[in-house]
Amino acid sequence: MELPFDDRRAAGRILAERLHTYAGRPDVIVLALPRGGVPVGYEVARALGVELDLLIVRKLGLPGHAELAMGAIASGGGVHLNQDVIAMGRVGEHEIERVMADEYRELERREALYRGTRPAAPVEGRTVIVVDDGIATGASMRAALKALRSRKPAKIVVAVPVAPIDAPARMKDVCDAFVSVRLPADFQAVGQFYREFGQTGDDEVRTLLAQSAASGDGR
């Protein structure tokens, strides 16, 4: 199989071509999921001439069953609570508040690590392009989008270089549009479609975010 992407930044440049209708619009912002989505999102934002920011998401694990999500929180104060899971687990308000407080501390730590003192960019009333380096199960992306929706964006566009062929159908209830360069039927893992798929480091995330802010795109 011919690999379509040299690395994440190359994938971002190719993905940006599919998003040209959003170029130069002040109401558009790119939110990248750290860490692997940031190099992709950086190239998308640069090509479109729009603002880049992060969308950090933290799952809210059900007490006693942390692997089961009862909700999620995301950058900028986005919150999603799954009332069905909460009711099933008979989770009280104080327990929810405790879990949220713990996850907010971790989210704030990561926010400070990546962006320093820069606040999360406003998204209310804007078209938000949410970027990652690919989608496998889609669990993290779904959690992020549900929390993002509470921040009242006008439109949510999911944009990834590669995803399974059924991903658009699986994501249609949490986004308004889905854009992908590749939707292979033989999908096994995101990394199989990249020649170079090493881990994106924290320093690279900070550098790209700072470079994008310094360029003034979308402002």
| For residue 140, pLDDT beyond 90 | no
Integer Cα distance of 171 and 137 in angstroms: 10
Crossing angle for the helix pair 37-48 and 202-215, nearest 10 degrees? 10
Question: 89 and 25, same structural domain?
Answer: no
Question: 64 and 44, same structural domain?
Answer: no
Question: 208 and 145, same structural domain?
Answer: yes
Question: 180 and 139, same structural domain?
Answer: yes
pTM: 0.88
Question: 136 and 110, same structural domain?
Answer: no
Tokens of 137: 């199960």
Name the domain boundary from 91, 115, 139: 115
Tokens of 210: 């700072």
Name the domain boundary from 115, 139, 155: 115
Integer Cα distance of 50 and 159 in angstroms: 15
Q: pLDDT tens for residues 181-190? A: 999 999 999 9
Question: 150 and 187, same structural domain?
Answer: yes
Question: 106 and 127, same structural domain?
Answer: no
**Higher-pLDDT residue of 9, 81:** 9
Question: Total domain count for the chain?
Answer: 2
What range does the domain containing 87 cover? 58-115
Give me the pLDDT at residue 65, please: 87
Q: pLDDT tens for residues 57-112? A: 888 989 988 878 888 888 888 888 888 889 999 999 999 999 999 999 988 898 89
| Beta sheet of 28-32, edge-to-edge order | 51-54, 28-32, 127-131, 155-162, 177-182
Give me the pLDDT at residue 2, please: 56
Tell me the percentage of the chain whose pLDDT exceeds 70: 97
Q: pLDDT tens for residues 198-211? A: 999 999 999 999 99
- Residue 89: strand, helix, or coil: coil
Question: 106 and 49, same structural domain?
Answer: no
Question: 191 and 98, same structural domain?
Answer: no
CA-to-CA separations, 108 to 61, 81, 185, in angstroms, rounded: 17, 19, 38
